[in-house]
């Protein structure tokens, strides 16, 4: 029996929900632990923000909404203005504001006026160092911070932020604590006090356990796994393998060419020494993607058109399960 914090002691339980299997496992674990769904909130950070589809899967937001609806849990969207593209093209400019949905049905905007100017003009680097792999911090971690810091409803309350990192994924993730104060915690501050803990419920889980939880709940995995990707979120994650790039070039050629064109414009590749074309040349497209035009079509669609819960006995492990090489360390 794994130990866990007293989940009933929190006023709010926020799940950082990417639509990937590990964040889904977090949600399912909380429900299996008996947490009232009315006390859970899913928070999805849109990687491409309000900009065009550039890195993310066009269907991800709709998939997240379908999951939230299936379990009767509210979903709040948030993003960095301009998304990945604007952050990547930042030249002597502050990081853009964060836009988020609040609990009253409104949309709010915070930040974006820092005097600290910065320049990117390159893709995030393939490293565990979040200052150089800026996408994870600028588009996800800092966005959740802003969502909490800019809502009065969290002041004077106990909030638990749950994320889906697992130790098995990488040495850097194995070093994360399963439970610690969250970055937005101010319990010992002089003003604007809020207690915010950070809990990683599946930190000690093997991938097998994650898929087993999805099978128990008959939750249909994101289409990325069904096409052969082993990780979600971004379709064109900077950590994508050679096979992944070969697949993107074959079934999402327009996306591939946009990335290749940006690499050429920056004069700086995503991989330290190879262009995405070099990588694609070394890879083999995932058979599941080649053979599933209907799933490719779902991946391109901003609506989720597939069932979200499988019928009894029909849940299948997707081809991307237990694969390697399409996500961050």
- 327 φ, ψ (degrees, to nearest 5): -150, 175
- Nearest approach, Cβ of residue 235 and ligand SF4 (Å): 9
SS3 80: strand
Burial 234-272 (b: 16+ CB within 10 A, else e): bbbbbbbbbbbbbbbbbbbeebbebbbebbeeeeebbbe
Under 8 Å between Cβ of 45 and 14:
no
- Nearest approach, Cβ of residue 275 and ligand SF4 (Å): 17
- Nearest approach, Cβ of residue 39 and ligand SF4 (Å): 28
What element of type H or E holds 13?
A: strand 12-16
Residues in contact with ligand SF4 by CB under 6 A are: 47, 55, 124, 133, 135-136, 139, 233-234, 237-239, 327-328
Question: How many H helices and E strands in the chain?
Answer: 13, 8
- Of 47 and 299, the one with the shorter C-beta distance to ligand SF4 is 47
- Of 58 and 327, the one with the shorter C-beta distance to ligand SF4 is 327
- Of 42 and 55, the one with the shorter C-beta distance to ligand SF4 is 55
- 212 φ, ψ (degrees, to nearest 5): -65, -40
- Nearest approach, Cβ of residue 135 and ligand SF4 (Å): 3
Under 8 Å between Cβ of 147 and 98:
yes
- Any bridge partners for residue 158, and if so which? 195
- Nearest approach, Cβ of residue 306 and ligand SF4 (Å): 22
- Nearest approach, Cβ of residue 266 and ligand SF4 (Å): 15
- Of 12 and 58, the one with the shorter C-beta distance to ligand SF4 is 58
- Of 179 and 266, the one with the shorter C-beta distance to ligand SF4 is 266
- Nearest approach, Cβ of residue 220 and ligand SF4 (Å): 21
- Of 79 and 199, the one with the shorter C-beta distance to ligand SF4 is 79
Under 8 Å between Cβ of 82 and 257:
no
What crossing angle do the helices spanning 60-71 and 21-32 adopt, rounded to 10°?
A: 10
**Taking the mean position of all CA atoms in its chain, how far away is CA 196?**
20
- Of 40 and 46, the one with the shorter C-beta distance to ligand SF4 is 46
């Amino acid at each position: 029996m794994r130990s866990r914090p007293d989940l009933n002691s929190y006023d709010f339980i926020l799940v950082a929900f990417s639509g990937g299997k590990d964040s889904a496992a977090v949600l399912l674990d909380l429900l299996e632990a008996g947490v009232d769904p009315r006390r859970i909130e899913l928070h999805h950070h849109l990687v491409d923000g309000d900009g065009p589809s550039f890195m993310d899967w066009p269907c991800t937001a709709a998939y997240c909404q379908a999951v939230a609806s299936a379990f009767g849990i509210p979903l709040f969207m948030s993003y960095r203005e301009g998304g990945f593209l604007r952050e990547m093209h930042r030249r002597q400019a502050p990081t853009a504001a964060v836009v988020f949905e609040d609990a009253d049905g409104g949309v709010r905007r915070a930040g974006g006026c820092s005097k600290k100017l910065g320049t990117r003009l390159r893709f995030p680097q393939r490293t565990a160092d979040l200052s150089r792999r800026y996408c994870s911090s600028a588009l996800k971690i800092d966005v959740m911070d802003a969502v909490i810091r800019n809502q009065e409803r969290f002041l004077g309350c106990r909030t638990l932020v749950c994320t889906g990192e697992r130790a098995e994924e990488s040495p850097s993730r194995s070093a994360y604590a399963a439970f610690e104060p969250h970055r937005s915690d101010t319990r010992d501050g002089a003003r604007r006090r809020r207690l915010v803990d950070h809990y990683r419920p599946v930190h000690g889980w093997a991938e097998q356990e994650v898929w087993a939880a999805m099978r128990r709940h008959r939750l249909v995995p994101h289409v990325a796994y069904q096409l052969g990707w082993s990780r979600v979120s971004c379709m064109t994650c900077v950590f994508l393998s050679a096979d992944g790039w070969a697949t993107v070039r074959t079934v999402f050629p327009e996306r591939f060419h946009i990335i290749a064109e940006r690499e050429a414009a920056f004069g700086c590749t995503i991989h330290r020494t190879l262009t995405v074309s070099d990588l694609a040349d070394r890879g083999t497209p995932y058979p599941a993607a080649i053979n599933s035009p209907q799933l490719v079509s779902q991946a391109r669609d901003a609506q989720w058109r597939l069932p979200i819960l499988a019928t009894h006995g029909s849940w299948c492990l997707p081809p991307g399960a237990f694969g390697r090489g399409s996500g961050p360390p």
